């Protein structure tokens, strides 16, 4: 009730939620009260959690902030939802997002934009901007987002919260609406690293319902938060500190690195030489995967259906009316790079570049234990500032895309404020399946 009161107060200014799930939440809260009365305990008993609106919850709408799924009600729970429910969580609402998670500003959502709670003239980041804003504005205790190319980390950085993109395969994608299946990962967006560890204990681990889920042991992520950092090697990739980085971002990130050095970590300069190809590689491969994933929205099986007359008209009109501009742009790009005659030149070349980027990380982790870098080259930008310039928007993902291309885990933690009082995030990247290391290092900022 307290959180819904808070939502009623701040939502007119922030608009973090796509829609609320009050009935479900009330039933779950009552069940939690009963369990508490009986002396029972669970890791998230009665804790209000928000979910990005591309995670399926049985009997509630899952819209991806798209017109084409505006009326879609999930017939089943995502695995992360099953696990949250089993842990006693109260699911209070679905958060706004860029349409189908395509974007970095939350401005491509169908119904309304979300504003940054720190400055409502600025974007909260994207695509999990609703989740980040809801956590930052105290409209939930924690939230889940998804990260295909930075969508947990960049909004976490813009809204001054903690966001973890787990290793690809660590968290089940069953019941997560697919954008680019070889990149997508669900992860926690929280007020503290400790909260992220608690959520990872609940949602992480193997799931037979997702064939890409990794069958590796899930450690207790809360157990190692206070390990000593002395002697660990902190890699600083030089390619992440060049070019158009905002001096205020640079200043805060450097201060974060010095803080870790003061705790006994040893700074080592490293190189990830193929970083310059990350943006092109990601946008070729992610669009290719998106174009095939989104072919299922044809007006026949579920979602929006146009009134058009013939079957063919119905297909084309449904997609014309149901998808927004950015989604269409990506379907066109993806279809192009997969078409015969262009497949070898773009898609196959992109896959090769992806391997080179992965090998960069493998080589670098031979000389360091964890890496530190900026999350975003820029501070949270003004609403509308980049909306008409997709290339500018894509370029702002420069520092987050490589972790998805390589499948490694990466954490965004607040490391300072700009002179104007806007939050700045530090990115920590680790070897596959070592989220524990990232949480351990990140915990030293709190
Ligand atoms: N901003 C990136 C994109 O638009 C990443 C999105 C994401 O991680 N879902 O594709």
382 falls within a domain: no
The number of the ligand 1 atom at minimal distance from the alpha carbon of 150 is: 8
What's the pTM value of the predicted model, to 2 decimals?
0.98
How far apart are alpha carbons 359 and 53 in whole angstroms? 34
Print burial letters for 356-387: b (CB count within 10 Å at least 16), e (below 16): ebbebbeebbeebbbbbbbbbbbbbbebeebb
The first and second tokens of residue 194, run together, are 């400790």
Question: Which residue's CA is minimally distant from atom 10 of ligand 1?
Answer: 102
289 falls within a domain: no
Distance of CA 148 from the midpoint of ligand 1 (Å): 6
How far apart are alpha carbons 291 and 338 in whole angstroms? 9
Active site residue 52: yes
182 falls within a domain: yes
With the CA atoms of 346, 172, 132 and 263 taken in that order, what torsion angle do they form, in degrees rounded to the nearest 10?
-90
Q: How many domains does the chain fold into?
A: 1
Active site residue 328: no
Q: Which residues of the chain have pLDDT under 70?
A: none
Q: Which of 65, 97, 99, 104 has the most ligand 1 atoms within 8 A of CB, as the residue to mutate?
A: 104
Residue 226, burial from CB neighbour count under 10 angstroms (0-12, 13-18, 19+): exposed
What pLDDT does 395 receive?
87
What pLDDT does 309 receive?
86
Q: Map tokens 């007020």 to a residue.
A: 191
Out of 65, 146, 151, 157, which one is annotated catalytic?
Answer: 151
Pocket lining: 77 vs ligand 1, CB cutoff 6 Å = no
User: Strand, helix or coil at 382?
Assistant: strand
Handedness of CA 8, 116, 287, 432 (dihedral sign): negative
Pocket lining: 185 vs ligand 1, CB cutoff 6 Å = no
321 falls within a domain: no
Pocket lining: 327 vs ligand 1, CB cutoff 6 Å = no
Pocket lining: 151 vs ligand 1, CB cutoff 6 Å = yes
Q: Are strands 266-270 and 233-237 parallel, antiparallel or unpaired?
A: parallel
What pLDDT does 78 receive?
98
Pocket lining: 131 vs ligand 1, CB cutoff 6 Å = no
388 falls within a domain: no
Pocket lining: 105 vs ligand 1, CB cutoff 6 Å = no
The number of the ligand 1 atom at minimal distance from the alpha carbon of 326 is: 4
Structure letter (DSSP) for residue 61: B
Task: Write the CATH number for 78.
Answer: 3.90.1300.10
107 falls within a domain: yes
Distance of CA 17 from the midpoint of ligand 1 (Å): 19
Question: Among candidates 18, 426, 340, 350, which has minimal Cα distance to 183?
Answer: 350
34 falls within a domain: yes
How far apart are alpha carbons 97 and 154 in whole angstroms? 13
Pocket lining: 102 vs ligand 1, CB cutoff 6 Å = yes
Active site residue 127: yes
ipTM of the complex: 0.97
How far apart are alpha carbons 425 and 374 in whole angstroms? 7
68 falls within a domain: yes
Q: Which DSSP helix (H) or strand (E) runs through 188?
A: strand 185-190
Adjacent-strand bridge partners of 374: 426
Residue range 319-364, pLDDT digits in tens: 999 999 999 999 999 999 999 999 999 999 999 999 999 999 999 9
Cα 59 to Cα 71, 142, 145, 359: the distances in Å are 12, 22, 20, 43
Domain that holds residue 83: 2-203
Cα 247 to Cα 254, 418, 419: the distances in Å are 10, 10, 11
Q: How many residues does the chain have?
A: 446
Q: Omega of the bond prior to 127 within 30 degrees of 0, cis?
A: yes
């Amino acid at each position: 009730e307290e959180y819904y009161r808070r939502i009623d107060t701040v939502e007119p200014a922030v608009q973090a939620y796509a829609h609320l799930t009050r009935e479900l939440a009330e039933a779950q809260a009552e069940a939690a009260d009963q369990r508490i009365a009986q002396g029972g305990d669970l890791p998230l008993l009665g804790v209000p959690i928000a979910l990005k609106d591309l995670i399926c919850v049985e009997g509630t709408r899952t819209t991806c902030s798209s017109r084409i799924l505006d009326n879609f009600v999930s017939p089943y729970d995502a695995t992360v939802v099953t696990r949250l429910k089993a842990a006693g969580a109260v699911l209070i609402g679905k958060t706004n997002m860029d349409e189908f998670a395509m974007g970095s500003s939350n401005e491509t959502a169908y119904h309304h934009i979300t504003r940054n709670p720190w400055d409502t003239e600025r974007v909260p980041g994207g695509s999990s901007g609703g989740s980040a804003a809801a956590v930052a504005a105290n409209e939930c205790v924690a939230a889940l987002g998804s990260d295909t190319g930075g969508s947990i980390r960049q909004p976490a950085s813009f809204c001054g919260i903690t966001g973890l993109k787990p290793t690809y395969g660590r968290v089940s994608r069953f019941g997560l609406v697919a954008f680019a299946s070889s990149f997508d990962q669900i992860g926690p967006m929280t007020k503290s690293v400790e909260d992220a560890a608690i959520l990872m204990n609940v949602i992480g681990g193997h799931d037979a319902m997702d064939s890409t889920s990794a069958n590796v042991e899930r450690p207790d992520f809360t157990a190692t938060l206070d390990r000593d950092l002395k002697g660990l090697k902190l890699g600083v990739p030089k390619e992440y500190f060049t070019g158009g980085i905002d001096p205020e971002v640079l200043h805060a990130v450097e201060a974060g690195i010095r803080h870790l050095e003061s705790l006994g970590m040893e700074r080592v300069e490293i190189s990830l030489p193929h970083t310059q190809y990350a943006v092109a590689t990601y946008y070729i491969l992610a669009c290719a995967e998106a174009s095939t994933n989104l072919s299922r929205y044809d007006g026949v099986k579920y979602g929006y259906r146009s009134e058009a007359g013939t079957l063919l008209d119905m297909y084309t009109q449904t997609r014309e009316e149901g998808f927004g501009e950015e989604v269409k742009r990506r379907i066109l790009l993806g279809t192009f790079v997969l078409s015969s005659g262009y497949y070898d030149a773009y898609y196959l070349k992109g896959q090769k570049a992806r391997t080179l980027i992965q090998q960069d990380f493998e080589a670098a982790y031979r000389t360091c234990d964890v890496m530190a870098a900026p999350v975003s080259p820029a501070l949270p930008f003004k609403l509308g500032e980049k909306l008409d310039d997709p290339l500018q928007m894509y370029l702002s993902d420069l520092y987050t895309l490589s972790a998805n291309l390589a499948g490694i885990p990466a954490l965004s933690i607040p490391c300072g404020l700009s002179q104007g009082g806007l939050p700045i995030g530090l990115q920590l990247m680790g070897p596959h399946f070592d989220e524990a290391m990232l949480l351990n290092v990140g915990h030293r900022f709190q």
